[in-house]
Amino acid sequence: MLLLSPLACQQNGKEEQDQPALGVIVPLSGSTATMGSSIVRDLQMLNLKTLALHFEDDQCDPKQAISVYRRLRLKSVKYFYLACSGSVLALAPLAKKDGTLIITAYAGASAIRTTGPEVIRYIPDALSISQEIVKYLRQRNDARIGLLHEEQDWQR
C-alpha cells in the first residue's frame, strides 16, 4: 500500500472536498471477488484521512470497468487502482485521453508494457515470470520442463 502514499500526502490547508480521490475498481463479486475484497480490506486498514476512496465492482470485466471509470470521472476522480489485466488494458486508452493515472499491483498481462506512462504497474508481468522460471530450470539442467496455465487476459 506504500504505492498509494504519494496520493495520500496532506495538501497544504486544502478543504476535505479538495482532497484527492482514488477510484478503486476491483472485482467485488463473481469468481474473483476474494481478490477485490482483500484489496478493499487492506485499503480500509490504512485509515487514510487525506485520500477519498471510491470502491467499485468491475467483476474483472473490461466493459464493466469502462462503465465504472466513466461514472467516477463524472465525480472528478483522476487516480485509479485496478486489479485485473483486462480492465487495465481497456481503461489505458481512456486514461491517456483524459490525463488520468492507473496504478496496479495485480495485473500481470505483458501487453500492459505497451500502454504508456498513464499506467504504473508494481509487479513483473506473467511472461517475464515464466521466462525467469524457465531460465532457472535450464540452469539446473532439469531435462523436463512443463508449464500449466489457464487462458486469461493476464497472460497476454
Whether this prediction's pTM lies above 0.85 is answered by no
Pairing of strands 21-26, 52-57: parallel
Which of 28, 64, 24 minimizes the C-alpha distance to 48? 24
What is the distance, to the nearest Å, from the Cα of residue 32 to the centroid of all Cα atoms in its chain?
14
Taking only the tens place, the pLDDT of each residue in 19-70 is 889 999 999 999 989 999 999 999 888 877 888 999 999 999 999 999 999 9
Taking only the tens place, the pLDDT of each residue in 83-98 is 999 999 999 999 999 9
Give yes or no for residue 15 having a pLDDT over 60: no
Please give the residue range of the domain that contains residue 115. 19-155
Give yes or no for residue 154 having a pLDDT over 50: no
What is the domain-level CATH number for residue 103?
A: 3.40.50.2300
Instruction: Assess if residue 46 is contained within a domain.
Output: yes
Count of domains observed in the chain: 1
Give yes or no for residue 7 having a pLDDT over 70: no
Instruction: Assess if residue 13 is contained within a domain.
Output: no
Which of 38, 78, 86 minimizes the C-alpha distance to 58? 86
Instruction: Assess if residue 50 is contained within a domain.
Output: yes
Instruction: Assess if residue 123 is contained within a domain.
Output: yes
Instruction: Assess if residue 8 is contained within a domain.
Output: no
Cα 20 to Cα 3: distance, rounded to the nearest angstrom: 15
Torsion from C-alpha of 72, 75, 81, 87, nearest 10 degrees: 20
